[in-house]
Structure 1
Amino acid sequence: MNEHSVLIVEDNPTLRRLLEYRIGKHYDVRAAEHGEEALEFVETRAPDLIISDIMMPKMDGFALLKALRRNERTATIPFIFLTAKSDEASRAKGLSTGIDDYITKPFDIDYVLARVEQIIQRSQVYQTKLNARIGRDFSDRLMPKTMPREEGYRALFFSQPKEDGGGDLFDWVQLTDGSYLFTIGDIMGKGLQAKFYAFSFLSYIRSTIHAMLGSTVSPATLMRRVNAMLIQDQVLEETFASLLLLRWEPARDRVTYCNAGHCRPILVGLQGAGIIDYSDLILGLDPQTEFTDKAFTIPPGSALLCYTDGLNEQVTKSGQQFGEAGVALSASEALQAPQPIKMLLESMLERSADAHFADDILAFWLQRDAD
């Protein structure tokens, strides 16, 4: 059976059962006897299409349509009038309300089925395009437009959302002492919901950082505050997120970081790549979680790679995930490339079972020049 649902509103029991039977072969169908009952159904679950008579007891079709249009949640539900009112004045009145079709009785059931399919498909295409547009807008807001420029370093970034996108986020800010704070995260979930939470979450992080930078530049201290806010907030309390905060001091070639369950960074050098192995619990689970600062130096000619799980969870031709070791191998091959992130991704796709990445991908590459 089709996953889409249709609500039939018809006071004639024989006709109502006929429509239920024929349309029910293709869609999930519910039926109401009049407009008031239909509104009760819609309140519990909004259908993908409503087919309604006009002349009914308690609440007629026009009153039902008016009530639906007043509610933001139901205003755009596709709507068909199926009625015995066949005069031109009634038809004109019906069509003037912005409904999707006006079908008069007696009707051809095959025509009704064809119109149901066409209208649901059209609505689905429109919703898909709308979701994609919203997803792109959120993606633009979750990613930076520029990257830091410091002598002796290259800071590179790449992001590629999958369809509507998910919860990947990346941000950076320069601190008053000349260092930089980078935020790399992944909100659990897929699609627009995850992207909405990622946008809300990033707003929290930005406000927290700006509020606390006067008193601390410690990634761990910032992480503790973000975790507390995430758990206390009623909108985001059911949100779980991995997050990596990095403070980069280019004058000292030093990175201080705090990792809350995020993909572990990779330090790539001429002798190979190593995993920076410390990580705390993900955000949003426990208000008592302790977060710790760790630090390392970027040697000459080396690069730091930070990324989201779209890379390490990509499936290889052998059917296994790349994992950290697979990402590190491709990162080593990319170290001396003119465009290292491009080389990294191409290297991974050469080993992948698919010609494209299956999930959102995000990569941040910070490379120190050789002496």
Structure 2
Amino acid sequence: MAEYSILIVEDERTLRRLLEYRLGKEYNVRTAENGIEALELLSEEVPDLIISDVMMPKMDGFALQAAVQERQDTKATPFIFLTAKVDEDSRKKGQMTGVDDYITKPFDIDQLISRVNRLIERTKVFQTQLDEKIGQDFSQKLTPKTMPSVSGYTTHVHNVPKGHGGGDIFDWTETRPGTYFITIGDVMGKGLQAKFYAFSFYGYIRSTIHTMLGATDSPAELVAGVNKALVNDTTMEDTFASLLLIRWEPERNTITYANAGHCRPILVSERGAEVITYSDIVLGLTPDAEFKDTSIVMKPGTALVAYTDGVTEQVTKSDVLLGEEGVVDVIQKAYGHADPLDAMATGILDVSKQQEFSDDVLIFWLQRLTAIDRQTPRWFSPFRDVAKGS
């Protein structure tokens, strides 16, 4: 199915059918006999380009183009005039109204197709640049600029959006002195739409935590509150998300978390790595979903590693997904490096089919230091945003 659509407005039946046939080989084409019919079609779906005759019954091309310019959803749509009028006044009038091209009849159909392709390509480049700019802006807003600085612990974050990104979320907040809530989530979907939903979802999480903290600090109950708000909001209908909500209490050396269908976190130490197996259903399925708190004591040298599915879904040289087992292997090899996330990224790409990540990648590494670690200086690569506790 063609990616881009064109609306042809032409009262001459033979020419209209010819244009529909030739352009229909590359684009989704709809046709109208006059401006009034064209406006009705515009109300149903906005095309990527409009080709219109000038002289037509009921509503001519100039009136149609003026109506297109008045609508917010079509104001930027490229517009080509086809006309038998060769006088300079008509051409100037078309140019003054913002027409992108002005082709005089009779014309070479291949020349018209070439101009159409050029305008569509310009639209494609502009839209890609706009999407990437908006996506980058959202990615920056969805990622904190700093990390907690906590004696005896070190934190590392690797967040690399792919293109204009998807729905990965990372956030932290200190709810009371010495208690931190860390949020890692993924709104299902790709591209800019997922990023918009991720931004809304991010708002749900923050508002729910701040609203409910007076009554509970249970990650499971907070996740249930986020889920209920998500399900009951009609603007987020059919939006599903995974969420890992962690309560970190460094003075007690404990982590308590609730996992709503997110990639299962991994504990790693010098003794090896293990997957924390418990996980509940994703958010957005049912308002009455229940979630469970799981607590872990962080022993010296132990690290908790959480990540999004861009890591597990990386395709390896064997044409299979890296998967959870592959992630465990990479984490074990990265453990002990001064910069474990740089080592992880290198390890993943070493076994990947392509030497770049194919999707958004977000990894969080939280490690309790040993007495020796505290005396050993660490360096950090500019590969990703990193904050380190003292």
TM bucket by the smaller chain?
over 0.9
Displacement of 1:27 in angstroms is: 2.8
Is 1:171 the equivalent of 2:183? no
2:154 paired residue number = 154
2:286 paired residue number = 286
1:113 paired residue number = 113
2:240 paired residue number = 240
Rounded Cα–Cα distance in structure 2 between residues aligned with 1:3 and 1:365:
40
Displacement of 1:9 in angstroms is: 0.7
Residues 1-371 of structure 1: pairs in structure 2 closer than 5 A:
2-371=2-371
Rounded Cα–Cα distance in structure 2 between residues aligned with 1:93 and 1:40:
25
Report Cα offsets for 1:167-226 as digits up to 9, x if no partner. Answer: 000000001142100010000100000010000000111111111222221111101110
SS at match of 1:235: helix
**Code of the aligned partner of 1:173:** T
**Code of the aligned partner of 1:37:** E
For structure 1, the 5+ residue unaligned runs are none
Rounded Cα–Cα distance in structure 2 between residues aligned with 1:199 and 1:367:
28
**Code of the aligned partner of 1:296:** I
**Code of the aligned partner of 2:231:** I
Is the alpha carbon distance of 1:244 and 1:26 closer, same or farther for their aligned partners in structure 2, counting shifts above 3 Å?
closer
Displacement of 1:303 in angstroms is: 0.8
**Code of the aligned partner of 1:242:** S
For structure 2, the 5+ residue unaligned runs are 372-390
Report Cα offsets for 1:115-172 as digits up to 9, x if no partner. Answer: 1111111111111111111111111111111111001110111111111211000000
Rounded Cα–Cα distance in structure 2 between residues aligned with 1:5 and 1:166:
25
Structure with bigger RCO (C-alpha 8 Å, 6+ apart)? 2
**Code of the aligned partner of 1:39:** L
**Code of the aligned partner of 1:263:** C
SS at match of 2:167: strand
After alignment, is 307-316 or 241-250 more displaced? 307-316
After alignment, is 253-262 or 74-83 more displaced? 74-83
Displacement of 1:2 in angstroms is: 4.7
After alignment, is 253-262 or 8-17 more displaced? 8-17
SS at match of 2:189: strand
SS at match of 1:286: coil
Rounded Cα–Cα distance in structure 2 between residues aligned with 1:71 and 1:254:
57
Is the alpha carbon distance of 1:24 and 1:286 closer, same or farther for their aligned partners in structure 2, counting shifts above 3 Å?
closer
Give the number of equivalent residue pairs.
Answer: 371
Q: CA RMSD in A?
A: 1.3
Displacement of 1:5 in angstroms is: 2.1
Rounded Cα–Cα distance in structure 1 between residues aligned with 2:352 and 2:84:
60
Query: Normalised by the size of structure 2, how large is the TM-score?
Result: 0.92
Rounded Cα–Cα distance in structure 2 between residues aligned with 1:231 and 1:224:
11
Rounded Cα–Cα distance in structure 2 between residues aligned with 1:20 and 1:215:
64
After alignment, is 202-211 or 68-77 more displaced? 68-77
Rounded Cα–Cα distance in structure 2 between residues aligned with 1:294 and 1:317:
36
SS at match of 2:193: helix
Query: Normalised by the size of structure 1, how large is the TM-score?
Result: 0.97
- Between the aligned residues of both structures, percent identity stands at 57
**Code of the aligned partner of 1:104:** T
Report Cα offsets for 1:296-346 as digits up to 9, x if no partner. Answer: 011101111000011112222223222222111111111111111010111
**Code of the aligned partner of 1:361:** V
**Code of the aligned partner of 1:266:** I
After TM superposition, which residue ranges in structure 1, 4 or more long, deviate above 3 angstroms? none
Rounded Cα–Cα distance in structure 2 between residues aligned with 1:355 and 1:22:
40
**Code of the aligned partner of 1:253:** N
**Code of the aligned partner of 1:73:** D
**Code of the aligned partner of 2:263:** C
Displacement of 1:77 in angstroms is: 1.2
Displacement of 1:58 in angstroms is: 1.2
**Code of the aligned partner of 1:278:** Y
SS at match of 1:181: strand
Rounded Cα–Cα distance in structure 2 between residues aligned with 1:71 and 1:43:
10
Displacement of 1:108 in angstroms is: 2.3
Displacement of 1:63 in angstroms is: 1.5
SS at match of 2:226: helix
2:388 paired residue number = none
Rounded Cα–Cα distance in structure 2 between residues aligned with 1:55 and 1:184:
59
